[in-house]
A and B are shown apart, each in its own frame.
Chain A
């Protein structure tokens, strides 16, 4: 540890500056180049605007030392994050972080108001609810990307390179790590993110993720093909049409 360069990544909960990527919002809605009439286009634009006006993503991040735990014949490898109870089990997370010096854990949420508005719209305006849901997904993704950019800037200032952003549920990393990730960030207290007994985040428009910090640019600096780690790939209607929910060839999942 002492031989490591100093890295100062402890971003307390704060509001993130982000905007909804309209194209991404459309992709979440299954858009694949169909002709959109003026009325619908206007409604989509209005909902995206409401979402940005009424909500703001907030996020927090902290950095921990990485402790690889090699696997055995019957035991999958894992990564422990020092000073926390987090154990990231499975090959995917292991490969993602085994050569990293540090791991920065991120959490981002649109807050309870997003949930409340989704409930209200679901009861009164199903199409509005669907559009708002997609807008929120794009917004929390944009917030998480902004948070990642802050982490990246700090890491680079300290001379580290980061790899792409990984989240529970990708590859073989189980969702049951969510409670420990939230605890490592004190995210219930700081952001109001909680977890159900089935390991779903509430508010549902919340994200936890992590990146590795490396001495030199890692092989996994760039995200793999967005679908390669996705569990939904077999059932995905977007993929069947040759598009991805993140746009072709960029981003992670």
Chain B
């Protein structure tokens, strides 16, 4: 575990920073303005620095010039000068100079100019983090940690983390500064005209997540001119509990005679910044295109002023990198937590987790987002898995493609930390309870990572029966949270739903407890709604009724399956009644033309089952084959018509496997041949594979029903592991192969892209895989393919390897020692057949 209570408590106490200067303390408290400097890069380029040269090296080679720039800013009135260390990380400096030496020189250059304070400048690493890029969170953290340690060692007064576009990268930097130094942390992000960073973060998300994590000041730099930045600053001011900082560019860049110039002069710049100061911005300076004249103009504007006193009403807020879920103080707004990423009672998810199939987990996330969830609960608790590793992988995968804030749900503290640490945003932790041991272990972690937390009203004696007793436990949790530094608004109480079939009397007690907690403690509440109906018929009816009652009692965040239309109806209706759905607009849009489900249905749209026979043939594709000719339907990729045909075939067949081996597989083979000879192109091959998949799923269902849960179909054909090799991020080819092979009935362990050789070996060993498929797009990553093959040859010599990818040829495949070359997905299917089926 990275988080060590014994090592870290000092940064947990506000004011226990290494700041003695009362003026800097006043800045952090929002009671004093602070004037930074302007651009360094602009000044250096004016002095002849080449684009792409490392400006940080000038601190070593030409310290006088650097100091001269700092001095000009000090003379113009900068209280803080920013040391020339923006890109002084080991990744960018490479062999040019050691990080520590650059920080030492840069801070000395800054200090020599005689400023009141020196900020160590920490810019982005220049590489995108996983999963969109290839840099891991830990690598990013280590790079930042090296920088901030050097900054503190050489006497910087504060850390300025700036020009961040990725909230996750900013978080790595803030955590490094918080865990490795005692310096105050100022952090600014850069936004585009659309009010988002390149990675989609909004000013609100930044201003909620970064202070929660421990930033003393949060803000905006670079981006645009002050006029364009002003509305973003306004948005930060509305939610930020800490002082807000702005260092804008000198307007928008413009092409003038082949040179980029900025279009706002010093005085209008200062005027525009002054308006932001009037609205509450406390810390100011400049970015690209600004020079000492801008700082002099700003100095005149803030001289003799104190920052506007701001009061941000505390409220529940969590974020992802893109989305913010806020329940404003005093509002009755509700937010829905999707519950489906939880293996309890879900064999398909269990199977996906055991085989590391993150695509399935991500699919569940995306579906729930489409069904209206606002947050997602992520619970991966299975006895035989490495939960911390799996939860880290799941969080990384989900946050790369699904924008909903996450609730990290585990009883394993290490898994919770693995989930929240590399999470891009402010997550919620599920859960702490009123047991002393739980409070003592969970709350410090919640505080350290700046999370919200679910508190369960149970203790050493179990779940109490009455509302009063539940309330008492909730009160205990809230008190303990506040004592641990977790503010009340970040605590969400779960009064724990009991089943009506066994504890009928308790249901109304639970609702009463919700009301009491809400009214007397002023905290938000959460309930796992569907628990109420276990063991009773028509569960959705009970669930939806209970949900409506719970909303009335004050429930803020139901945990439920958003696929249920009854739940969705109750939520949509409640959002009219609680005035969250302004002017009932969304309700009207969604329900105005909808039929009352209790009225007799006018028509069915005949999906599945034997009734569909007529419907399928009535669709009447011109020149269509017999609608029950499975083979023809698969070949022509008519996914929608496959279920009826396959069901019919299954009904007629003695063994479901006959449908698979006699119809679906031959159809795919035929498609493969057509692809081979060029009469089909790739999308047609894939459309057929999609259609076949629908059929395979039905066959498997039958097999499962017959064999009582044994998944005979995929077990029969063998397993293989697929990976796009280390350094390569182009995985579209690998994904196509995966799809086709899955449809042939193989079990696929998909390791994703940028996969280290050791990962492949681990998978081979763990799952006893005999065939590995590797892909690489670029010539530059083919060596990684060779490394992977070499490792497998040494450590698992019985494993066969086939390779594919744009630059590969049979000759190349032979050179690197592969057993086979797959020039396309159809070829991969034949290779799998050769190695896995014929030998079996």
Which A residues are within 8 Å of any B CB, using their own CB?
6-13, 29-32, 34, 36-37, 39-40, 43-44, 62-63, 83-86, 111-113, 115-117, 119-120, 122-124, 126-127, 129-131, 133, 169, 175, 179-180, 183-186, 188-189, 191-192, 194-200, 202-204, 231-232, 234-235, 237, 241
**Centre residue among B401, B738, B779 by max chain A CB count within 10 A:** B401
B164-202 with Cβ < 8 A to chain A = 165, 190, 198-200
Q: CB-CB contacts of B678-703 with A at 8 A, as 1s and 0s?
A: 11111110110110000000000000
Asked if B254 is at the interface (CB within 8 A of a chain A CB), the reply is: yes
Inter-subunit contact A111/B780 (CB<8 Å): no
Residue of B nearest to A181 (CB): B52
A218 → B minimal CB distance (Å): 20
Add 6 more A-B contacts to A32-B681, A112-B200, A195-B126 (CB < 8 A): A40-B637, A122-B359, A123-B360, A130-B735, A194-B127, A237-B823
Q: CB-CB contacts of B22-57 with A at 8 A, as 1s and 0s?
A: 000000000000000000000000000011110000
Inter-subunit contact B362/A127 (CB<8 Å): no
Q: With the chains together, A122 CA to B752 CA distance in Å?
A: 10
Inter-subunit contact A122/B732 (CB<8 Å): yes
B307 → A minimal CB distance (Å): 29
Inter-subunit contact A116/B401 (CB<8 Å): yes
Inter-subunit contact B807/A115 (CB<8 Å): no
Q: With the chains together, A39 CA to B199 CA distance in Å?
A: 34
Q: With the chains together, A62 CA to B50 CA distance in Å?
A: 13
User: In the complex, what residues of A have CB within 8 A of residue B400's CB?
Assistant: 116, 119
From B254, B401, B727, B809, contact of A197 by CB (8 A) = B727
> If A40-B637, A84-B51, A122-B735 touch, does A194 touch B686 (CB 8 Å cutoff)?
no
Q: Which of B140-148, B257-265, B429-437 contacts A (4 or more CB under 8 A)?
A: B257-265
Inter-subunit contact B727/A196 (CB<8 Å): yes
Q: With the chains together, A39 CA to B729 CA distance in Å?
A: 31
User: In the complex, what residues of A have CB within 8 A of residue B52's CB?
Assistant: 84-86, 180, 183-184
A90 → B minimal CB distance (Å): 14
Inter-subunit contact B780/A194 (CB<8 Å): no
Inter-subunit contact B808/A235 (CB<8 Å): yes
Cβ contacts A to B, 16 pairs, < 8 Å:
A9-B258, A12-B253, A62-B260, A120-B362, A122-B732, A124-B359, A126-B738, A126-B739, A188-B124, A189-B190, A194-B128, A196-B754, A202-B128, A202-B132, A235-B806, A235-B823
Q: With the chains together, A9 CA to B260 CA distance in Å?
A: 9
User: In the complex, what residues of B have CB within 8 A of residue A113's CB?
Assistant: 200
From A120, A197, A235, contact of B402 by CB (8 A) = A120
Residue of B nearest to A38 (CB): B621
B132 → A minimal CB distance (Å): 5
Residue of A nearest to B743 (CB): A126
User: In the complex, what residues of B have CB within 8 A of residue A83's CB?
Assistant: 50-51
From A11, A44, A196, contact of B134 by CB (8 A) = A196
A34 → B minimal CB distance (Å): 5
B804 → A minimal CB distance (Å): 10
Q: With the chains together, A6 CA to B256 CA distance in Å?
A: 11
Q: With the chains together, A191 CA to B190 CA distance in Å?
A: 11
From B678, B687, B728, contact of A198 by CB (8 A) = B728
> If A189-B190, A198-B778, A235-B806 touch, does A12 touch B255 (CB 8 Å cutoff)?
yes
Inter-subunit contact B363/A124 (CB<8 Å): yes
Asked if B645 is at the interface (CB within 8 A of a chain A CB), the reply is: no
User: In the complex, what residues of B have CB within 8 A of residue A122's CB?
Assistant: 359, 731-732, 735
Number of B residues near A (Cβ < 8 Å) is: 75
Residue of B nearest to A200 (CB): B729
Q: With the chains together, A53 CA to B778 CA distance in Å?
A: 30
Q: With the chains together, A188 CA to B197 CA distance in Å?
A: 12
Inter-subunit contact B258/A6 (CB<8 Å): yes
Q: With the chains together, A234 CA to B807 CA distance in Å?
A: 8
User: In the complex, what residues of B have CB within 8 A of residue A9's CB?
Assistant: 255, 258
Q: With the chains together, A58 CA to B731 CA distance in Å?
A: 24
> If A6-B258, A234-B809 touch, does A112 touch B778 (CB 8 Å cutoff)?
no
Inter-subunit contact A112/B199 (CB<8 Å): yes
Inter-subunit contact A192/B198 (CB<8 Å): yes
Asked if B573 is at the interface (CB within 8 A of a chain A CB), the reply is: no
Inter-subunit contact B683/A127 (CB<8 Å): yes
A189 → B minimal CB distance (Å): 7
Asked if B252 is at the interface (CB within 8 A of a chain A CB), the reply is: yes
Q: With the chains together, A117 CA to B397 CA distance in Å?
A: 13
A36 → B minimal CB distance (Å): 8
Chain A interface main SS type: mixed
From A115, A130, A169, contact of B132 by CB (8 A) = A115
Asked if B366 is at the interface (CB within 8 A of a chain A CB), the reply is: yes
A136 → B minimal CB distance (Å): 10
B290 → A minimal CB distance (Å): 15
From A131, A192, A196, contact of B683 by CB (8 A) = A131
From B222, B260, B729, contact of A202 by CB (8 A) = B729
A120 → B minimal CB distance (Å): 4
Asked if B788 is at the interface (CB within 8 A of a chain A CB), the reply is: no
> If A111-B198, A126-B738, A130-B732 touch, does A34 touch B401 (CB 8 Å cutoff)?
no
Inter-subunit contact A189/B163 (CB<8 Å): yes
Q: With the chains together, A192 CA to B166 CA distance in Å?
A: 10
> If A85-B52, A130-B732, A204-B730 touch, does A235 touch B809 (CB 8 Å cutoff)?
yes
> If A12-B252, A202-B133, A235-B808 touch, does A130 touch B199 (CB 8 Å cutoff)?
no
Asked if B781 is at the interface (CB within 8 A of a chain A CB), the reply is: yes
Asked if B736 is at the interface (CB within 8 A of a chain A CB), the reply is: yes
Q: With the chains together, A140 CA to B823 CA distance in Å?
A: 26
Q: With the chains together, A83 CA to B260 CA distance in Å?
A: 14
Q: With the chains together, A32 CA to B682 CA distance in Å?
A: 10
Q: CB-CB contacts of B599-639 with A at 8 A, as 1s and 0s?
A: 00000000000000000000000000000000000001110
> If A10-B258, A31-B681, A85-B53 touch, does A127 touch B780 (CB 8 Å cutoff)?
no
Q: With the chains together, A97 CA to B824 CA distance in Å?
A: 37
User: In the complex, what residues of A have CB within 8 A of residue B778's CB?
Assistant: 169, 175, 198, 200
Residue of A nearest to B199 (CB): A112
From B199, B254, B638, B732, contact of A133 by CB (8 A) = B732
Asked if B109 is at the interface (CB within 8 A of a chain A CB), the reply is: no
B274 → A minimal CB distance (Å): 26
A54 → B minimal CB distance (Å): 12
Inter-subunit contact B51/A184 (CB<8 Å): yes
User: In the complex, what residues of A have CB within 8 A of residue B728's CB?
Assistant: 198, 200
User: In the complex, what residues of B have CB within 8 A of residue A175's CB?
Assistant: 778, 780
From B126, B252, B254, contact of A194 by CB (8 A) = B126
User: In the complex, what residues of A have CB within 8 A of residue B745's CB?
Assistant: none
Asked if B131 is at the interface (CB within 8 A of a chain A CB), the reply is: yes
Q: With the chains together, A195 CA to B133 CA distance in Å?
A: 9
Asked if B358 is at the interface (CB within 8 A of a chain A CB), the reply is: yes
User: In the complex, what residues of A have CB within 8 A of residue B731's CB?
Assistant: 122
Q: With the chains together, A199 CA to B730 CA distance in Å?
A: 12
Inter-subunit contact A127/B366 (CB<8 Å): no
User: In the complex, what residues of A have CB within 8 A of residue B397's CB?
Assistant: 123
User: In the complex, what residues of B have CB within 8 A of residue A189's CB?
Assistant: 163, 190, 222
User: In the complex, what residues of B have CB within 8 A of residue A123's CB?
Assistant: 358-360, 362-363, 366, 397, 401
Q: With the chains together, A48 CA to B828 CA distance in Å?
A: 28
B321 → A minimal CB distance (Å): 10
- A-B complex: 6 closest residue pairs judged by Cβ atoms: A192-B198, A183-B52, A198-B727, A85-B52, A12-B253, A120-B401
User: In the complex, what residues of B have CB within 8 A of residue A130's CB?
Assistant: 682-683, 686, 732, 735-736
Q: With the chains together, A124 CA to B360 CA distance in Å?
A: 8
B648 → A minimal CB distance (Å): 21
Inter-subunit contact A235/B732 (CB<8 Å): no
Inter-subunit contact B50/A44 (CB<8 Å): no
A138 → B minimal CB distance (Å): 14
A28 → B minimal CB distance (Å): 9
Q: With the chains together, A194 CA to B163 CA distance in Å?
A: 14
User: In the complex, what residues of A have CB within 8 A of residue B367's CB?
Assistant: 124
From A8, A34, A116, contact of B255 by CB (8 A) = A8
User: In the complex, what residues of B have CB within 8 A of residue A43's CB?
Assistant: 683
Q: With the chains together, A123 CA to B132 CA distance in Å?
A: 14
B811 → A minimal CB distance (Å): 9
